[in-house]
């Protein structure tokens, strides 16, 4: 069971990356020291667990839907994510997701994520957008929240690809 979220933010070191790797299903196969330090779980508690162990309830479902749709096709994607630490505190990060491939066959064998801290300004904008998406998911469904997200991006420009959504948000503000 995840802990009850506390309304307290973990201040991140802007110079350090929080890194993890998963298998094809999203089970954690590797995490670096800073990952462990920030989330508060031990390596033993993390390895082999689904990555959703640090999922924060403020995250809308549609973000993970688009994440999985993109990386499972072998495309990279960036996303702003709010995570939940073991003690219930939270931290916002900008995450670069990539697929890991078998060097011989080229087949996807898992995924890699490298995360860095982001500015307060971007957090405020994304937190507002995510709150709206979450509300839509509660009142309606994920189809409606995806539609909202696509329209939000259409307002920003014509040729924005779904896979680049977060990068575009980052760039526009
Ligand atoms: C490499 C990789 C890293 C991930 N990192 C996170 C993360 O930091 N936080 C998170 O909530 N989900 C992360 N996910 C997504 C989870 O696998 C999962 O889709 C998400 O937590 C939503 O959980 P649910 O699908 O059980 O609702 C990651 C997935 C992959 C492939």
The answer to whether the beta carbons of residues 111 and 95 sit under 8 Å apart is no
Task: Give the model's confidence band at 159: pLDDT under 50 very low, under 70 low, under 90 confident, else very high.
Answer: low
The whole model's pTM is what? Answer: 0.93
| Ligand 1 atom with minimal separation from the 22 CA | 1
| Ligand 1 atom with minimal separation from the 111 CA | 1
pLDDT beyond 60 at 101: yes
Structural domains of the chain in order of their starting residue, each with its CATH number = 18-172 (3.30.450.20)
Tally the residues of the chain.
Answer: 173
Query: What pLDDT, on the 0 to 100 scale, is given for residue 170?
Result: 62
Sign of the alpha-carbon dihedral angle for 2, 5, 11, 15: positive
pLDDT beyond 80 at 164: no
- Other CB atoms closer than 10 Å to residue 138's CB: what's the count? 10
Residue (of 123, 84, 77, 97) closest to 26 by Cα position: 97
Query: What pLDDT, on the 0 to 100 scale, is given for residue 166?
Result: 67
Token pair recorded at residue 71: 């990386």
**Which of 18, 51, 85, 115 has most ligand 1 atoms within 8 Å of CB, for mutation?**
51
Segment 142-165 shows an average pLDDT of: 77
């Amino acid at each position: 069971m995840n802990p009850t979220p506390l309304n307290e933010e973990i201040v991140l070191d802007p110079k350090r990356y929080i890194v993890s790797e998963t298998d094809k299903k999203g089970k954690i196969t590797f995490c670096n020291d800073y990952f462990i330090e920030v989330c508060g779980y031990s390596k033993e508690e993390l390895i082999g667990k689904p990555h959703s162990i640090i999922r924060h309830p403020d995250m809308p479902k549609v973000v993970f839907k688009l994440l999985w749709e993109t990386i499972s096709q072998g495309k990279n994607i960036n996303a702003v994510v709010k995570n939940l630490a073991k003690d219930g505190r939270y931290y916002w990060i900008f995450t670069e997701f990539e697929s890991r491939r078998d060097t011989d066959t080229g087949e996807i064998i898992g995924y890699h994520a490298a995360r860095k801290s982001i500015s307060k300004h971007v957090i405020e904008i994304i937190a507002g957008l995510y709150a709206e998406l979450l509300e839509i998911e509660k009142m309606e469904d994920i189809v409606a929240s995806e539609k909202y997200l696509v329209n939000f991006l259409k307002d920003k420009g014509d040729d924005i690809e779904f896979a680049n959504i977060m990068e575009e948000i980052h760039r526009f503000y």
